């Protein structure tokens, strides 16, 4: 269950583009990843490094079918069940990830600068693994890391589990030991992007999704559990009382996230497989949307199913950056169901800004169809705006003093007090 097996599968299915020409990590890689957005892309030669680089490893929801062998509803159920019935991986004492040991020198790695206004080169695919000081279990989560020097980075911490682990250690005067893994099976990234209760381990979710296909091994310096046979492992510490300015960075909305004072990581040792392949994620594009958004879609599905039994489809839209706008297709039982469905979606995904609810005859993946339903079925009292409410820190239109914004409910469903024929679309798309 490694990255290499997944790459082989993509190649067999003609979903891999291989670039043999030498490319530059400064802006050119991002340009080519966008150009070849319908396939994974492997850069065999990157300027100033001996390591190849791969990206675009998840480019549509259909690739989840390849990974989970399920339709979308079944995938939601699998992810939700994996979160509640997770089994921690077995420990082993051998991993190819440690075949080569070397000093950390980020100047020797193919780490891109994606956009001209980014503050520097960024690790975007690194899964950060740290021990929870209260439970002893490891937390795994994806964080952007701006390269500061050959062995230092600045990590963007948001108020989730790693943030709590860091501040718990900091309060006790301790640095936070971490291990980065880079070059892994995509389901490990999906698990690392799935919100869990504080203290639970995302590696358990990954193991469950991969049908007990993961084993873990402890890192040499800090004894942190990492999955075996990942391409790279880098050990280091988030320094308790050392910060630097991080950013700006083009985040999921495609706009510049602001500069922030964030903790410094000092790295101690790098390990990798022989002939290792480095990995990256292009910000503000499909893989970024899917990894952040798909676990939230699964959570929304679970919440909404408690309100109405027939949830036909849902999506966090590309126009909403895979994060801020949900469209949900349901069968209404009674007036008011659509608004309750939207409130459930906001509870499942607190960063959500807009929620549009439609009937089963509307294709949630077709923006034209959704707009048609909004224009023809949302009338007086069907659009509700809740103002001055906590929103997403990624929303450029938020009030930056307190991160408040709006939440919008659009009930674009057929209404009980109207003739059914008035709502039916006679022509097709």
Residue 421 pLDDT: 65
Residues with catalytic roles: 251
Per-residue H/E/C for the chain: CCHHHHHHHHHHCCCEEEEEEEECCECHHHHHHHHCCCCEEEEEEECCCCCCEEECCCCCCHHHHHHHCCCHHHHHHHHHHHHHCCCCCEECCCCHHHCEEECCCHHHCCCCECCCCCCCCEECCCEEEEECCCCCCEEEEECCEEEEECCEEEECCCCCHHHHHHHHHHHCCCCEEEEEEECCCHHHHHHHCCCCCCCCCHHHHHHHHCCCCCEEEECCCCCCEEECCCCEEEEEEEEEEEEEEECCEECCCCCEECCEEEEEEEEEEEEECCCCCEECCCCCCHHHHHHHHHHHHHHHHHHHHCCCCCEEEEEECCCCCCCCEEEEEECCCCCCHHHHHHHHHHHHCCCCCEEEEEECCCCCCCHHHHHHHHHHHCCCCCEEEEEEEECCCCCCCCECCCCEEEEEEEEECCCCCCCHHHCCCCCCC
Task: Write down the architecture of domain 287-292+302-416 according to CATH.
Answer: 3-Layer(aba) Sandwich (3.40)
What would the pLDDT profile of 52-95 be if each residue is shown by its tens digit? Answer: 999 999 998 888 888 888 888 899 999 999 988 888 999 999 99
Domain edges within the chain = 3-282, 287-292+302-416
Residue 419 pLDDT: 63
Q: How many CB atoms lie within 10 A of CB 38?
A: 12
Residue 221 pLDDT: 97
Residue 426 pLDDT: 65
What would the pLDDT profile of 360-374 be if each residue is shown by its tens digit? Answer: 999 999 999 999 999
Residue 3 pLDDT: 95
* Threshold 0.75, pTM exceeds: yes
Task: Quote the CA–CA distance of 98 and 228 in Å, as a whole number.
Answer: 9
Task: Show the low-confidence residues of the chain (pLDDT under 50).
Answer: none
Residue 184 pLDDT: 97
Report domain 3-282's class.
mainly beta
Residue 429 pLDDT: 61
């Amino acid at each position: 269950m490694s990255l290499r097996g997944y790459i082989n599968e993509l190649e067999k299915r003609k979903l891999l583009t291989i670039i043999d020409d030498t490319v530059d990590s400064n802006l050119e890689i991002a340009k080519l990843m966008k150009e070849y957005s319908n396939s994974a892309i492997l850069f065999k030669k990157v300027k100033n490094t001996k390591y190849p680089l791969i990206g675009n490893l998840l480019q549509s929801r259909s690739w989840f079918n390849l990974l989970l062998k399920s339709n979308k509803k079944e995938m939601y159920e699998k992810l939700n069940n994996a979160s509640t019935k997770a089994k921690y991986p077995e420990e082993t004492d051998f991993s190819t990830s440690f075949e080569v040991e070397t000093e950390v020198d980020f100047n020797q790695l193919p780490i891109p600068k994606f956009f001209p206004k980014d503050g520097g080169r960024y690790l975007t695919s690194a899964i950060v693994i740290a021990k929870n000081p209260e439970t002893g279990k490891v937390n795994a989560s994806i964080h952007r890391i701006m390269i500061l020097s050959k062995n230092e980075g600045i990590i963007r911490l948001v108020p989730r589990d790693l943030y709590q682990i860091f501040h718990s250690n900091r309060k006790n005067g301790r640095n936070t030991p971490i291990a980065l893994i880079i070059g892994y099976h995509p389901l490990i990234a999906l698990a690392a992007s799935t919100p869990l209760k504080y203290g639970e381990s995302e590696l358990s979710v990954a193991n469950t999704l991969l049908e007990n296909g993961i084993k873990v091994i402890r890192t040499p310096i800090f004894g942190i559990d990492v999955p075996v046979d990942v391409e790279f492992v880098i050990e280091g510490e988030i320094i308790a009382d050392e910060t630097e300015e991080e950013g700006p960075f083009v985040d999921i909305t495609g706009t510049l996230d602001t500069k922030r004072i964030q903790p410094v990581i000092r790295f101690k040792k790098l390990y990798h497989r022989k002939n290792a392949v480095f990995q990256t994620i292009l910000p503000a594009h499909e893989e970024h949307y899917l990894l952040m958004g798909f676990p939230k879609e699964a959570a929304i599905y679970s919440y909404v199913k408690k309100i109405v039994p027939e949830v036909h489809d849902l999506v966090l839209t590309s126009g909403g950056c895979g994060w801020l706008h949900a469209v949900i297709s349901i069968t209404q039982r009674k007036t008011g169901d659509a608004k309750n469905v939207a409130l459930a979606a906001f509870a499942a995904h607190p960063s959500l800004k807009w929620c549009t609810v439609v009937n089963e005859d509307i294709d949630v993946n077709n923006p034209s169809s959704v707009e048609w339903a909004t224009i023809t079925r949302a009338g007086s009292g069907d659009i509700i705006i809740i103002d001055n409410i906590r929103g997403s820190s990624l929303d450029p239109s938020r009030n930056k003093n307190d991160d408040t914004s709006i939440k919008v409910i659009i009930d674009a469903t057929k209404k009980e007090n109207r003739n059914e024929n008035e709502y039916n679309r006679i022509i097709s798309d």
